[in-house]
Amino acid sequence: TMIMASFGRVWRRSPSYRHRHVTTTAPSSSPLVIDPPSHHSSLIFLHDAHDDPETYRSLFTLLADLRRRIRVVLPTAPIDDHSGSRSWSKFDPTANICQPDPESISIITDLIRSESQFCPSVYLAGYGEGAGMALHMGFGMEADPAIKGVVSLCTSSLPDSRSSSNTDLLAFHGGLDAFITEDVARKWYSSRPNTSLVIDPAIGFKFTHEMFIHICDWINDRSSRSDTAYHP
């Protein structure tokens, strides 16, 4: 059950870059992977609706020093039959709302399972609709295997507040055009343990370098107790 399910916002795009693909079981397309020489954590990042991983690639590659021990995986959402664009959700015409797409859930679950085989800590993040799916995977259902933490950037939806998950959560919220009001966001996030909430009016306009710096610091802080690093 989703509190708000109004998806499909088009956000400002960054320049496109060439990228390499890796093998995956996902039927839509292979994810873009930015792989450091060694890493202690994997960050799976879900793009917004009507978007693709190229929008965020420049941020991840330009901040190489900050994510030098964080493997970044950017999957591509399936194409929604109703809208004809890429989306992590599926429109239900009978209820006139969007629900998390079972195909998307399968793709992300397989990716989490694959990353967990080699990395001790897997984090799931997203922007806009991607953030809504990340929250759903982390708090609206039982992820198998479990994820270490969730990062939500200007989500367009919130899972049922009755979820009992104690997964670590970093949330960015704000902006006059946000799908969810600040009051609703504060109430939902305050009900979750282990949550860090950043309220900023600029968040609703674009994903910035500052946000990614904050995400990297948050992940590195949680991984600092362990010296474990995977060397591919």
Per cent of the chain over pLDDT 90 is: 19
13 occurs within a structural domain: no
Tens digit of pLDDT for each residue in 163-206? 667 889 999 987 665 778 888 888 888 888 889 998 877 665 56
169 occurs within a structural domain: yes
pTM, to two decimals: 0.79
* pLDDT at residue 230 greater than cutoff 70: no
Task: Read off the pLDDT band of 16 (50, 70, 90).
Answer: very low
183 occurs within a structural domain: yes
Contact criterion met (CB below 8 Å) for 229 and 40? yes
Answer with the residue of higher pLDDT: 44 or 34.
44
Q: What is the pLDDT of residue 23?
A: 32
73 occurs within a structural domain: yes
Q: What is the pLDDT of residue 63?
A: 67
17 occurs within a structural domain: no
Q: What is the pLDDT of residue 95?
A: 57
Give the integer Cα–Cα distance in Å for 59 and 191.
Answer: 31
Domain that holds residue 39: 32-223
Give the integer Cα–Cα distance in Å for 2 and 162.
Answer: 11
Provide the 3-class DSSP secondary structure of residue 178.
coil
Beta-carbon contacts of 144 under 8 Å, excluding residues fewer than 6 positions away, are 109, 113
HSE (side-chain half, CA atoms, 13 Å) at 149: 23
Helices of type H across 81-181: 102-116, 129-135
Tens digit of pLDDT for each residue in 124-137? 999 888 999 999 88
Contact criterion met (CB below 8 Å) for 67 and 216? yes
How many domains would you assign to the chain? 1
The CATH number that applies at residue 47 is 3.40.50.1820
8 occurs within a structural domain: no
Q: ∠ CA 65-150-19 to the nearest 5 degrees?
A: 45
161 occurs within a structural domain: yes
* pLDDT at residue 14 greater than cutoff 80: no
Contact criterion met (CB below 8 Å) for 182 and 173? yes
- The whole-number average pLDDT for the span 8-18 is 28
Residue 223, amino acid: S
51 occurs within a structural domain: yes
